[in-house]
Structure 1
Amino acid sequence: MNSTTRFKLSFMMFLEFFIWGGWFVTLGTFLDKNLSASGPEIGSVFSTQSWGAIIAPFIIGLIADRYFNAEKILGVLHLIGAVLMYQMYNATDISVFYPYVFVYMVLYMPTLALVNSVSFNQMGDPEKEFSNIRIWGTIGWILAGVLISYFFHWDSQEASGNGALKNTFLMSAVASLGLGIFSFLLPKTPPKNKSTEKIKVSEILGLDALKLLKDKNFLIFFISSILICIPLAFYYQNANLFLSKIGMDNPTGKMTIGQVSEVLFLLAIPVFFKKFGFKKTILVGMLAWTVRYLLFAFGNAGELSFMLILGIALHGICYDFFFVSGQIYTNSKAGDKFKSSAQGLITLATYGVGMLIGFIVAGQITEIYKTNGVEDWKMIWSIPAGIAFVVFLLFSLLFNDKTKTESV
Structure 2
Amino acid sequence: MMNIKLRLIIMNFLEFFVWGSWLISLGAYMIVTLHFSGGEVGAVYATMGIASLFMPALLGIVADRWVNAERVLGICHIVGACLLLWASTVSDYRTFYLIMLLNSMAFMPTIALNNTVSYIILERRGFHIVKDFPPIRVWGTVGFVCAMWIVDLCGWTKSPFQLYLSAGAGLLLGLYTFTIEKCPPVKFNAKKTLSEALGLDAFVLFRRKKMLIFFIFAMLLGAALQITNAFGGAFLDDFKTGFADSFGVKHPNLLLSISQISETLFILTIPFFLRKFGIKQVMLLSIFAWIFRFGLFAIGDPGPGLYLLILSMIIYGMAFDFFNISGSLFVEKEADIRIRASAQGLFMLMTNGIGAFLGGTISGWVVDYFTVNGVKDWHNIWLSFAGYALVLGIFFPLVFRYKHNPDMETSKHH
TM norm structure 1: 0.86
Q: How far 1:306 moved relative to its partner?
A: 0.8
Matched, 1:211 2:214: no
Pairwise mapping of residues 4-15 of structure 1 onto structure 2 (< 5 A)? 5-15=4-14
For the Cα contact (< 8 Å) 1:222–1:346, is it kept in 2?
yes
Matched, 1:149 2:144: no
TM norm structure 2: 0.85
Partners of 1:402 and 1:72 in 2: CA distance: 39
User: Residue 245 of structure 2 corresponds to which residue in structure 1?
Assistant: none
Matched, 1:133 2:136: yes
Q: How many residues align?
A: 395
User: Residue 168 of structure 2 corresponds to which residue in structure 1?
Assistant: 174
Q: How far 1:239 moved relative to its partner?
A: 1.2
User: Residue 407 of structure 1 corresponds to which residue in structure 2?
Assistant: 409
1:238-292 deviations in Å (ceiling 9; x for gaps) = 1122122224231112222112212212233344445555444332221111111
For the Cα contact (< 8 Å) 2:277–2:404, is it kept in 1?
no
Q: How far 1:105 moved relative to its partner?
A: 0.9
Matched, 1:363 2:364: yes
Partners of 1:211 and 1:386 in 2: CA distance: 31
Partners of 1:4 and 1:60 in 2: CA distance: 28
Matched, 1:187 2:181: yes
**Identity over aligned residues, as a percent?**
34
Q: Which amino acid aligns with 1:171?
A: L
User: Residue 298 of structure 1 corresponds to which residue in structure 2?
Assistant: 299
For the Cα contact (< 8 Å) 2:151–2:162, is it kept in 1?
yes
Q: How far 1:136 moved relative to its partner?
A: 2.5
User: In structure 2, do the counterparts of structure 1 residues 326 and 116 end up closer, same or farther at CA, with 3 Å as the change threshold?
Assistant: closer
Partners of 2:212 and 2:60 in 1: CA distance: 26
Q: Which amino acid aligns with 1:212?
A: R
Q: How far 1:3 moved relative to its partner?
A: 2.3
Partners of 2:253 and 2:334 in 1: CA distance: 38
Pairwise mapping of residues 1-400 of structure 1 onto structure 2 (< 5 A)? 2-3=1-2, 5-123=4-122, 124-126=125-127, 127=129, 128-150=131-153, 152-155=154-157, 160=158, 165-193=159-187, 200=195, 203-204=199-200, 206-213=202-209, 215=210, 219-247=212-240, 248=248, 249-327=250-328, 343-399=344-400
For the Cα contact (< 8 Å) 1:70–1:190, is it kept in 2?
yes
User: In structure 2, do the counterparts of structure 1 residues 183 and 227 end up closer, same or farther at CA, with 3 Å as the change threshold?
Assistant: closer
For the Cα contact (< 8 Å) 2:134–2:267, is it kept in 1?
no
Partners of 1:24 and 1:385 in 2: CA distance: 22
Q: How far 1:395 moved relative to its partner?
A: 2.2
Partners of 2:373 and 2:14 in 1: CA distance: 40
* SS of aligned partner of 1:185: coil
RMSD, aligned CA: 2.9
Q: Which amino acid aligns with 1:143?
A: C
For the Cα contact (< 8 Å) 2:69–2:113, is it kept in 1?
yes
**Gaps (5+ residues) in structure 2?**
241-247
Q: How far 1:200 moved relative to its partner?
A: 2.8
Q: Using the TM superposition, name which of 177-186 and 355-364 deviates more.
A: 177-186
Q: How far 1:226 moved relative to its partner?
A: 2.6
Partners of 1:252 and 1:384 in 2: CA distance: 21
* SS of aligned partner of 1:319: helix
Q: How far 1:154 moved relative to its partner?
A: 2.3
Q: Using the TM superposition, name which of 387-396 and 373-382 deviates more.
A: 387-396
1:94-139 deviations in Å (ceiling 9; x for gaps) = 1111111111110112222333344344431342543443333222
Q: Using the TM superposition, name which of 362-371 and 351-360 deviates more.
A: 351-360
